[in-house]
Amino acid sequence: MTVTKPAAKDKFWNFVFYKFIFVFGVMNVLTLNEVLLWVGWYTAIAALLLLIKLSKDRFEFLSFSPNTPTRFHWKVVGLLVMVVISGLCLSWTCISRAQPFYPISQEFHSLIFMLSECAIIIVKALHVLMRYGIHLYDIQREELWERKATIVYHTDLLMDLLSLSINFVHHLHMLFSGNIWLSMASLVICMQVITRF
């Protein structure tokens, strides 16, 4: 029995549906201004996630090409560094715009939600960068690197564990932050937890 990965179109609509449930079910957005702010935020998040996915696919393609020029590698590395810097800038923007005087307010929950999205982006981009660094180190070596598979395995394990832990805490925060225990939004959030793990 083979398990197929969902197509990019299915992932896109899943992302849109999930974020729609989040904005209206968890955050209880009521004004058009807030809706537009959240749409802008999730557009930026989706663009960065797409750049990470494209970089990962490009890395996998280039890693199997034996005679790839060095400049192609540096383009992908540069894009990944830009994504990490963008994630850090988004995090800094969230923190600098937060009002620290109301620690349990809706703004505090929004800040935590936004920071967790930034953390996921940074972790995913760093994961691809680490894999790329291992690959570039391997192709520069003269002799065979016997420990490469072990290091790649542990890197993947650590970064996937970190990403899934952030996602899990993020979803638990969604469930506990609002009064959505017996609603359609809580069911969708639970389905997201199940499909991500």
Token couple for 120: 């996921």
pLDDT exceeds 90 at position 85: yes
Residue type at position 4? T
Residue entry with tokens 């990962």? 56
pTM exceeding 0.85: no
Asked whether 153 and 105 are in contact (CB, 8 A), the reply is no
pLDDT, one tens digit per residue, over 34-51 is 888 888 888 999 999 999
In a 3-state reduction of DSSP, which class is residue 1?
A: coil
State the Cα–Cα distance between residues 29 and 43, nearest whole angstrom: 17
Mean pLDDT of 90-102: 74
> Which one is predicted more confidently, 124 or 96?
124
Query: Residue 189: its pLDDT value, please?
Result: 60
Lowest mean pLDDT among 4-18, 144-158, 165-179: 4-18
Asked whether 160 and 181 are in contact (CB, 8 A), the reply is no
Residue whose C-alpha is closest to residue 131's, from 51, 48, 68, 62: 62
